[in-house]
Structure 1
Amino acid sequence: MRRTTPLALAATALLLAGCGTHTSSTASRKVSPAPGNQAPVCRNQVRLTAADNGRTVCVAKGGEVRLGLTGTKDRPWKPVTVTGGALTAVNSGFVIRPGDAEAAYRAAAPGTGKLASSRPMCAQPTAPGQMACKGIQDWTVTVTVKS
């Protein structure tokens, strides 16, 4: 007769617990619904933050997208860029703190636009002899505009 040790049982349980729970990063960002579900709702107002990195959002034509990326003087966000013809820049107001990036866009035409910014991963050295960090934190959001 063969005996199973508690360690072998624990390893098997952990292995089985992980089965079927992996999702790819592209699967978690899908906007299209599963078959039989309703289409995603396009909103008139969307507010984005750094936590929305990698997302795809839908905005109704004529709606507005506003975003605020909170940075620091040592790790500032670059100004937000937009590509594609679906969004046009509007006045976002004032940036109060150094390092922040604020932007606002009107959903001008059906299509897709991509918003992007970046900032250093760590503060740059302020004194001779300190180590430098060359890492960059990217931020992107895809905006789909529908009429």
Structure 2
Amino acid sequence: MRRTTPLALAAAALILAGCGSQQGTGSSDKVSAPPRGGTPSPTRPAGDCTGHAELTAADHGRTVCVAEGGEVRLTLDGTRARPWKPVTASGTALKAVNAGFVLQPGDATAAYQAVAAGTVKLTSSRPLCAQPTAPGRMSCKGIEEWSVTVRVG
């Protein structure tokens, strides 16, 4: 039987306590793109942007606000058969920084520092279906698009 130490219990309690907490959303009436659950949420006023945003494929279509000096990191999980293209950024409000290593073939990762007020659109794409592995099999030309708008405030 495994013995649980008081330190491990305290760490677990802190982790669980953080799971239910949320940052305030401000008092704005504006509505942003739907979050992962699909329900629109109020946007944050410019002075209430987050300092760190973690994005995934599920965030497609969202708009996020990051404070100047903050960081945006993203990971798009792909496969060898359906790899994500490298992420591109349109705009000058974000500066690319080292995202680390991609360990899985087909994944795309990127990291940016928010360096100036403005708006940037991050984009990538991948094949909608795997390409045929044998001659004579049907191929698919569809493309899955991914984009997130980042507002630096």
Could you say whether these structures have the same fold, taking a TM-score greater than 0.5 normalized by the shorter chain as the test? yes
1:126 CA drift (Å): 1.1
Give ranges in structure 1 of 5+ residues lacking alignment. Answer: 1-26
TM value normalised by structure 2:
0.72
Correspondence for 1:39 among 42, 45, 48:
45
Separation in structure 2 between the aligned mates of residue 101 and residue 123 of structure 1, nearest angstrom = 17
TM value normalised by structure 1:
0.75
Q: Deviations over 1:78-134 (max 9, x none)?
A: 000000110010000000000000000000100000100000010001111000000
Query: Within 5 Å, which residues of 2 pair with 1:1-147?
Result: 29=33, 33=42, 39=45, 41-146=48-153
Q: Deviations over 1:41-98 (max 9, x none)?
A: 3101000000000000000000000000000000000000000110010000000000
Runs of 4+ aligned residues of structure 1 deviating over 4 Å after TM superposition are: 30-34
Separation in structure 2 between the aligned mates of residue 62 and residue 69 of structure 1, nearest angstrom = 23
Identical positions, percent: 65
Count of aligned positions: 117
Separation in structure 2 between the aligned mates of residue 109 and residue 78 of structure 1, nearest angstrom = 26
Residue 75 to residue 115, structure 1, CA distance change in 2 (3 Å): same
Give ranges in structure 2 of 5+ residues lacking alignment. Answer: 1-30, 35-39
